[in-house]
């Protein structure tokens, strides 16, 4: 029996940033598909534990583990914890990231470095461990953004960090030839998370929603469905791609 033919209940997923709006939706979606889930967080333990409790109440298996995604020692411990608790790793979803906005001419270099550390180095560290430790039949899903296509003012530094994520994702997919591991990225458009909605007037949110031909914002569940597809049996023939989950905004 090949790994993909095994019961979905035997599959194990790590979700970095699993306590956030999109990350928690991804954790729930993968758990609903029968996977055991390691919910990673870096700050709010209470949010991560709430996600774990919700999954467990629905009959799933989950555990919360903290760590800095850009720290290779902390992330090695995260992968160790997943293997020790559940026996192996089949799916890694890298939702952890930060977004700091300013015109390029005004962006503080400290802010640029902070975003680069989390979004680029963090993705690199987690991807490197995934490449070494995912079981055959596994999937790595990184996170980009539809802003890489939209050329919106104030997003230069953020889009640059996500452009780097796309580059490493597409190259890693080719480097893992022969290992039966898929590597893809999901690029969300405007998504109704608390972080996105914070500080925006209802009128501004309405204008942003109207940009999509579907005339609404995405939901965390919309993005989680795309991730679940790439992480599941239906996505096994999708490899080395960036999936724009944005309702048609770009």
**How many domains is the chain built from?**
1
What CATH number is attached to the domain comprising 207? 3.40.50.720
Q: With respect to residue 17, please indicate whether it lies within any of the assigned structural domains.
A: yes
Q: With respect to residue 115, please indicate whether it lies within any of the assigned structural domains.
A: yes
Q: With respect to residue 3, please indicate whether it lies within any of the assigned structural domains.
A: no
Among the listed residues 79, 86, 158, 229, the single catalytic one is: 158
> What whole-number distance in Å separates Cα of residue 99 and Cα of residue 114?
10
Annotated active-site residue 41? The verdict is no
Residue-level pLDDT, tens digit, the chain, 250 residues: 333 333 444 799 999 999 999 999 999 999 999 999 999 999 889 999 999 999 999 999 999 999 999 999 999 999 999 999 999 999 999 999 999 999 999 999 999 999 999 999 999 999 999 999 999 999 999 999 999 999 899 999 999 999 999 999 999 999 999 999 999 999 999 999 887 888 889 999 999 999 999 999 999 999 999 999 999 999 999 999 999 999 999 7
Can you give the residue range of the structural domain that contains 239? Answer: 9-245
Q: With respect to residue 1, please indicate whether it lies within any of the assigned structural domains.
A: no
């Amino acid at each position: 029996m090949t790994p993909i033919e095994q019961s979905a209940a035997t599959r194990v997923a790590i979700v970095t940033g699993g306590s956030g709006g999109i990350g928690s939706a991804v954790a729930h979606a993968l758990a609903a598909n029968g996977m055991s889930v390691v919910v990673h967080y870096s700050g709010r333990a209470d949010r991560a534990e709430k996600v774990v409790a919700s999954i467990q109440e629905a009959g799933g298996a989950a555990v919360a583990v903290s760590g800095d995604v850009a720290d290779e020692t902390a992330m090695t411990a995260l992968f160790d914890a997943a293997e020790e608790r559940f026996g192996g790793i089949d799916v890694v979803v890298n939702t952890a990231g930060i977004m700091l906005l300013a015109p390029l001419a005004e962006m503080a270099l400290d802010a640029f470095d902070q975003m680069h550390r989390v979004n680029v180095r963090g993705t690199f560290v987690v991807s490197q461990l995934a490449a070494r430790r995912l079981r055959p039949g596994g999937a790595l899903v990184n996170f980009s953004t539809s802003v890489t296509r939209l050329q919106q003012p104030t997003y230069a530094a953020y889009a640059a960090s996500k452009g780097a994520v796309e580059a490493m994702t597409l190259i890693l997919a080719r480097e893992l030839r022969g290992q039966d591991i898929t590597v893809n990225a999901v690029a969300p458009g405007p998504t109704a998370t608390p972080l996105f909605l914070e500080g925006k007037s209802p009128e501004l949110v309405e204008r942003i929603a109207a940009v999509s031909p579907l005339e609404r914002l995405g939901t965390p569940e919309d993005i989680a469905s795309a991730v679940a597809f790439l992480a599941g049996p239906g996505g096994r023939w999708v490899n080395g791609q960036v999936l724009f989950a944005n309702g048609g905004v770009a």
